[in-house]
Amino acid sequence: MARERQVSGWYKWWVVAMLGGAYFFHQADRAIFGVLVPYIQSDLALTERQLGHINTVLFLTIAVVTFVAGFLGDRFDRKRIITGSLIFWSVATMGLGFASSFVAVVMLRSVATGGGESFYGPSAMSLLASHHRETRSLAFSIHQAALYLGLMLSGVLALRVLDVVGTWRRVFVAFGAAGLLLGVAYIFLMRPDTRGDVPSAEGKSEGASLAESFRAFFACPSALLATTGFIAICCVNNTYITWAPKMFHERFGLDGATAGAHAMFYHHLVAFGAILAGGWLTDRFVARFPRFRLGFQICALLLGAPALLLIGRCGTFAAAMAMTAAYGLFRGLFEVNTHASVFDVVPARHRASVVGFMLLLAMGLGALFSGELMGWVFSSFGERAYSVAFALMGGTYALAAILMSVSFFFTFRRDRIS
Confidence of residue 88 (pLDDT cuts 50, 70, 90): very high
Q: What percent of the chain has pLDDT over 90?
A: 47
Confidence of residue 16 (pLDDT cuts 50, 70, 90): very high
Is residue 147's pLDDT more than 50?
yes
Q: What is the pLDDT of residues 91-134, one digit of tens each?
A: 999 999 999 999 999 999 999 999 999 999 999 998 998 888 77
Q: If we measure between CA atoms, which residue out of 369, 333, 323 comes closest to residue 141?
A: 333
Q: What is the pLDDT of residues 322-369, one digit of tens each?
A: 999 999 999 999 998 998 899 999 998 898 899 989 988 988 888 789
Q: What is the pLDDT of residues 254-263, one digit of tens each?
A: 876 677 677 8
List b or e across 135-172, with b for residues whose CB sees 16 or more CB atoms inside 10 angstroms. Answer: bbbbbbbbbbbbbbbbbbbbbbbbbebbeeeeebbebb
Which is more confidently placed, 196 or 94?
94
Is residue 5 in some structural domain? Answer: no
- Max mean pLDDT range (48-57, 92-101, 155-164, 402-411): 402-411
Specify the pLDDT at position 411. 97
Q: What is the pLDDT of residues 384-413, one digit of tens each?
A: 999 999 999 999 999 999 999 999 999 999
Rounded distance between C-alpha atoms, residue 111 and residue 348, angstroms:
30
Model pTM greater than 0.95?
A: no
Helix (H, G, I), strand (E, B) or coil at 205: strand
Q: Average per-residue pLDDT in the chain?
A: 87
In the chain, % helix, strand, coil (3-state, to 5) comes to 80, 0, 20
Is residue 135's pLDDT more than 90?
no
Which is more confidently placed, 144 or 220?
220
Rounded distance between C-alpha atoms, residue 84 and residue 55, angstroms:
24
Is residue 29 in some structural domain? Answer: yes
Is residue 341 in some structural domain? Answer: yes
Determine contact, residues 106/57, Cβ cutoff 8 Å.
Answer: yes
Report CA-CA distances (Å) from 142 to 4, 81, 146, 237, 359. Answer: 21, 21, 7, 19, 20
Other CB atoms within 10 A of residue 64 CB: 17
DSSP states of 165-202 as a string?
A: H-SHHHHHHHHHHHHHHHHHHHHHHSPP---SSSB-TT
Is residue 241's pLDDT more than 90?
no
Is residue 272's pLDDT more than 90?
no
Is residue 320's pLDDT more than 80?
yes
Question: Is 318 buried (19+), middle (13-18) or exposed (0-12) by CB count in 10 A?
Answer: exposed
Is residue 200 in some structural domain? Answer: no
Q: What is the pLDDT of residues 58-85, one digit of tens each?
A: 888 988 898 899 989 888 899 999 999 9
The CATH number that applies at residue 293 is 1.20.1250.20
Report CA-CA distances (Å) from 66 to 28, 57, 170, 233, 379. Answer: 19, 14, 29, 17, 30
Which is more confidently placed, 236 or 27?
236
Specify the pLDDT at position 296. 96
What is the average per-residue pLDDT within 240-251?
84
Is residue 142 in some structural domain? Answer: yes
Rounded distance between C-alpha atoms, residue 268 and residue 334, angstroms:
13
Q: What is the pLDDT of residues 198-232, one digit of tens each?
A: 443 334 444 568 889 999 999 999 999 999 999 99
DSSP states of 371-396 as a string?
A: IIIHHHHHHHSGGGHHHHHHHHHHHH
Length of the chain: 418
Confidence of residue 5 (pLDDT cuts 50, 70, 90): very low
Helix (H, G, I), strand (E, B) or coil at 151: helix
Residue span of the structural domain in which 345 resides:
11-193+216-415
Rounded distance between C-alpha atoms, residue 51 and residue 115, angstroms:
18
Specify the pLDDT at position 201. 37
Q: Total domain count for the chain?
A: 1
Is residue 6 in some structural domain? Answer: no
Q: 414: left (phi > 0), else alpha (psi -120 to 50), else beta?
A: alpha
Specify the pLDDT at position 134. 77
Determine contact, residues 161/357, Cβ cutoff 8 Å.
Answer: no
Is residue 203 in some structural domain? Answer: no
- Sign of the C-alpha dihedral, residues 11, 130, 331, 39? positive
Is residue 208 in some structural domain? Answer: no
